[in-house]
Amino acid sequence: MKFGGTSVADAARLKRAAGRIVAKREQGFRVVAVLSARGKETDRLIADALEVSPVPDPREMDMLLSTGERVSCALCAMAINDLGHRAISLTGSQAGIVTDTSHTKARILEVRADRIRSALDEDSIVLVAGFQGVSTAKDVTTLGRGGSDTTAVALAAAIGADECEIYTDVPGVFSADPRIVPDARKLDVVSFDEMLEMAASGAGVLQLRSVEYARTHGVRIHCRSSFDDSEGTRVASEDARRDQDMENPLITAVTHSRGEARVTLIGLPDSPGIAGRVTTALAASNVNIDMIIQNEPRSAGALAELSFTVPQDDVAAAQAALAPIASELGIEVDTDDAMGKVSIVGAGMKSHPGVAAKVFTVLGEHEINIEMISTSPIRISCVVPGDKVADAVKALHSAFELQGADTIRPEQPFGEFS
């Protein structure tokens, strides 16, 4: 069971989470729960850091931020003990989450769950501080954005959990963001592949890394609300999905993301390997490229261009990483950070041609310019002007008839991270 920051934000919510954990235990399950830092605690710690240092040292940032989840776990363990059950909280290190040494963005190398297992054998409920681990250099590390989801899935895999329940501030995964599309439908089951594409294309409810990890290790995820007992959305293998969802619609969901930026390199020398050098430089600076498009000059004298999208937050890093190459090769670097992206995702589209055509037609009818396009067997994504994102989502959601009856309005913004 993983509870996000809003689910433990205050004493009342934290006790409710404790109650849910105990209820699960009393159903006969052995429970390992992963908790995030409370509400805005991580923001508070970051603010404290920026107060003393403009560019905080990453190792120390991890030491600092890792305290937030420990506080949540200790408090929750107290609450559970008061409910007459034995609970112990473990830091990421105590839980055996061994990571590499890349601070603030560490990757999990290994999970040594011995201590968790022995605690479970002693009939204790185990609370693990999410978002963190211990590096091979014995330093505290954090897993970066969405780290607690990854912690939960990694532990579920390590201990062979029946299910990894991600309790969040929305009832599940929807056919679109209900704040944009009020009659969006809650999905009962999505496949790992669909969930990956959705997470990658802006569905904030589950974090990409955790879904990747779950697919690799076959961890069954149940994404559900921490505010009620209703069934959420299960993320499972294709087969499970097909079994449980006979109709298997053409399209499963429309996702979107704002905060995209497009970087265009103009005047590339017409020589091989440039794209490789560019992407290598960006990777070295931990800049995540999303779409990338290269157009060879057709007419003589025309300049070759390379365009790619990155999160707006990474634009500065991208420019810094590209500066040397640009000056060396006389390339002009142009950025536009008012971009958004809208995507349709659905395992069903694999077997249906013409989906792309429909997407472009619909957007065209709504006079939405498509700046870039990328596709996968189960996804079509279009980069559009940021101020057109909502229109595009609405148009596609209704064009593919995704609306459902059981409409809800989440009490929190989508996508609770950490």
Smallest gap from Cβ 209 to its own copies, in A, equals 24
Q: Is 89 one of the binding residues for its own copies (CB under 8 A)? A: yes
Q: Is 88 one of the binding residues for its own copies (CB under 8 A)? A: yes
Of residues 1-30, those binding its own copies (CB under 8 A): 11, 14-15, 18
Nearer to its own copies, 134 or 208 (CB): 134
Question: In 313-370, which ranges are continuous DSSP H helix?
Answer: 315-329, 355-365
Which one of residues 24, 29, 81, 373 is an interface residue with its own copies (CB under 8 A)? Answer: 81
For residues 121 to 160, the per-residue mask of contacts with its own copies, x marking binding by CB under 8 A and - elsewhere, is: -----------------x-x--------------------
| Integer Cα distance of 26 and 80 in angstroms | 12
| Integer Cα distance of 347 and 185 in angstroms | 17
Using DSSP's 3-state secondary structure scheme, residue 197 falls into helix
Q: Is 98 one of the binding residues for its own copies (CB under 8 A)? A: no
Q: Is 61 one of the binding residues for its own copies (CB under 8 A)? A: yes
Strands 97-99 and 132-135: parallel
Scanning 28-36, 63-71, 160-168, 293-301 for contacts with its own copies by CB under 8 A, the matching segment is 63-71
| Integer Cα distance of 25 and 19 in angstroms | 10
Scanning 78-86, 259-267, 362-370, 396-404 for contacts with its own copies by CB under 8 A, the matching segment is 78-86
The burial class, CB within 10 Å (0-12 / 13-18 / 19+), for 313 is exposed
Smallest gap from Cβ 138 to its own copies, in A, equals 7
Say which DSSP state 6 is in.
G
Nearer to its own copies, 89 or 175 (CB): 89
CA angle 23-126-29, nearest 5°? 40
The pair of three-digit structure tokens given for residue 334, joined into one six-digit string? 């142009």
Question: In 58-127, which ranges are continuous DSSP H helix?
Answer: 58-82, 114-121
Smallest gap from Cβ 125 to its own copies, in A, equals 12
Using DSSP's 3-state secondary structure scheme, residue 336 falls into strand
By CB under 8 A, name the binding residues for its own copies.
Answer: 11, 14-15, 18, 45, 48-49, 51-57, 59-61, 63-64, 66-67, 70-71, 73-79, 81-82, 87-89, 91, 94, 115, 138, 140
